[in-house]
Chains A and B, each alone.
Chain A
Amino acid sequence: MKFFITAILALLSMSTSVMAAEHVIGQKNKAFTKKSITIKKGDSIKFPNQDPFFHNVYSMSESKSFDLGSYAKGVSKSVKFDKQGEVIVQCAIHPFMKLKVKVE
């Protein structure tokens, strides 16, 4: 019985990890490496800073509001998108850096 429950839990965790993807969008030359992306609810986006100066990642969109703070070259931070909708992600330091995330 114990074995059965463990197996079910393991399968469940595997299926969750298979379903939720992690996308990577860099910050390079004062721009996000993509202008827009469509992802599934529950997916994450990792934002590596590839510029030799600080960037920030934040959003004030209704469906997802977050602030990853500012970080230097070589550092990455991730955010999970757990609600459907459109999210505008920006760098507060360089506000012309914009990414549109469509969460389905």
Chain B
Amino acid sequence: MRLWIFLPLLAICVESAAEALFSKDEIRELRKQWLLPAPTLHPRHKQLSKLGKKLFFDTDLSIDKSTSCASCHIPELGWSDGKSTAQGLDGAPLKRATPSIINTAYSKVLMWDGRADSLEQQALMPFFDPLEMGLNEKLLVAKVASNQEYSALFAQAFGDSAIDSARISSALAEFQRSITASNTRFDRWLKGDESALNNEELLGFKLFIDPQKAACAVCHHPPNFTDDGFHNIGLSNQHLEDPGRYRFTPISLMKSAFKTPSLRLATRTAPYFHDGSAKTLLEVVEHYQKVGAKEHNFSPSLLPVNLNKEEKEKLLAFLNSLE
């Protein structure tokens, strides 16, 4: 008897956790904004992706047969590598952190400095970088052609077994489009599962989108938690060391500006920032609380962040729900 009384009450409580923070109209609007659509895939996605996966994990496709795409984009580490800055051939330190490839299917520009406009363009860049994989176009095609296992995969993907760099990049790009995260707890809440987020996480989400509080969504836009934009976030002395986007867009606003990373599964992709200088998400949040307009060439998009300890915990709880 008691259970019959309490069950409807429980249902009301669960529903009101979100509704106490957002109106029904707001929730409807948030769902519309933040739910990821299905990515646009090639009609032969399955075949291309199968080939792309083999290419992605193939260490033979580097000058000394030591390195594949997956050497830096490690699935278990959120398709990043857990290092502050990436390592190239012979362990040579590279300038920037390895960006995760999760949800790059939705990216309008790629790489920290945006030097690639498409996954197809990006896919070949590490192969041809002397510090990363050390090949050239001719060597890459020759190495792929020398492996008999590729012949059937190219035929399935393209209708014949001819191998060229355009086909290699198409297959790699299509494989990367399959690396998506769209069913995090936050996504399940967006899809209507009221129990997917608890009250603390919902409060954290409210702080995340509030321009007067954490103001994260000013750059981490819906639905992919990125504006595909470039900002100087005030990391110390970075303008002296790494010009970032300025190399391709030489106007002062772009000095040491880097691409806003997406956040789904960010819990797995530590350390953070283009230079890997933040070890945890808490350090990320504290960085934004510390820096301000006084920093050299600081992005005007970044609003002052003023969170107390409890608010920071709520914000982190929300970020952890993107898992």
Contacts and interface: CB of A to CB of B under 8 A. Distances in A.
B108 interface: yes
Interface residues of B, number: 24
A69 B253 contact: yes
A50 B109 CA distance: 23
B228 interface: yes
A85 interface: no
Majority-rule SS of B interface residues = loop
Nearest to A93: B229
A54 B215 CA distance: 13
Most chain B beta carbons < 10 A, residue from A52, A70, A93: A93
A39 B311 CA distance: 51
Interface string B213-236: 000001101000001111100000
B114 interface: yes
B249 interface: yes
A30 interface: yes
A94 B251 contact: no
Interface string B80-119: 0000000000000000000000000000110000100100
B300 A70 contact: yes
B218 A67 contact: no
Interface string A78-104: 000000000000101111100000000
A27 interface: no
Interface string B245-265: 100011111100100000000
Contact of A93 (B117, B211, B230, B250): B230
Interface in A11-54: 30, 52-54
Nearest to B249: A92
B301 A54 contact: yes
A92 B254 contact: yes
Chain A contact-residue range equals 10 to 19
Majority-rule SS of A interface residues = loop
Contact of B251 (A30, A53, A67, A72): A67
Most chain A beta carbons < 10 A, residue from B109, B227, B257: B227
B227 A94 contact: yes
A70 B298 CA distance: 12
Nearest to B211: A52
A7 to B, nearest CB: 45
Most chain A beta carbons < 10 A, residue from B108, B229, B230, B231: B229
Contacts of A90: 249
B249 A95 contact: yes
A58 B253 CA distance: 11
Contact of B229 (A67, A72, A94): A94
Contacts of B231: 93
Interface string A55-76: 0101010000001011010000
Contacts of B108: 96
A93 B301 contact: yes
Contacts of B253: 56, 67, 69-70, 92-93
A90 B253 CA distance: 13
Given A54-B300, A94-B229, A95-B109, 5 more contacts: A52-B211, A60-B250, A69-B253, A92-B254, A93-B229
8 contacts: A30-B227, A53-B227, A60-B250, A69-B253, A72-B300, A92-B251, A93-B227, A94-B227
